[in-house]
Amino acid sequence: MDERIGVVGIVVEDRENAARKINSILSEYGEIIVGRMGIPYRERNLSVISLIIDGTTDEIGAMTGKLGSLKNVQVKTALVTKRLSKS
């Protein structure tokens, strides 16, 4: 199956209650996460996490589906449309 590279943006409205669940899911899919940056946005009482990912569409969809099902968590994904193969 072809792998894709992309970016996942995660906005968390209730960090205290969601952090453990989010980190568990991200650990489960750690093999497709190339990089991660998390920023607390205190002025709006939010946290924003950005991920660089490299995986199959099935893996990426499974991860983002689990994240998106969490209460007070919003997820957006942008994938490169061209299929990339590892050299």
Whether the pLDDT of residue 87 is over 70: the answer is no
The pLDDT-based confidence of 84 (bands split at 50, 70, 90) is low
Q: Which domains does the chain have, with CATH numbers?
A: 3-79 (3.30.70.1150)
Phi and psi at 39, nearest 5°, equal: -130, 125
- Would you say the pTM of this structure is higher than 0.85? yes
The pLDDT-based confidence of 3 (bands split at 50, 70, 90) is confident
Please give the pLDDT value at position 86: 62
DSSP lists the bridge partners of residue 7 as: 52, 78
Burial class (CB in 10 A: 0-12, 13-18, 19+), 15: middle
Distance CA 83, CA 37 (A): 25
Minimum mean pLDDT range among 11-20, 34-43, 50-59, 78-87: 78-87
The amino acid occupying position 35 is G
Token pair, residue 8, equals 């996942």
Residue of 27, 7, 19 lying closest to 71 (CA atoms): 19
**What pLDDT, in 10s, does the model give residues 22-39?**
999 999 999 999 999 999
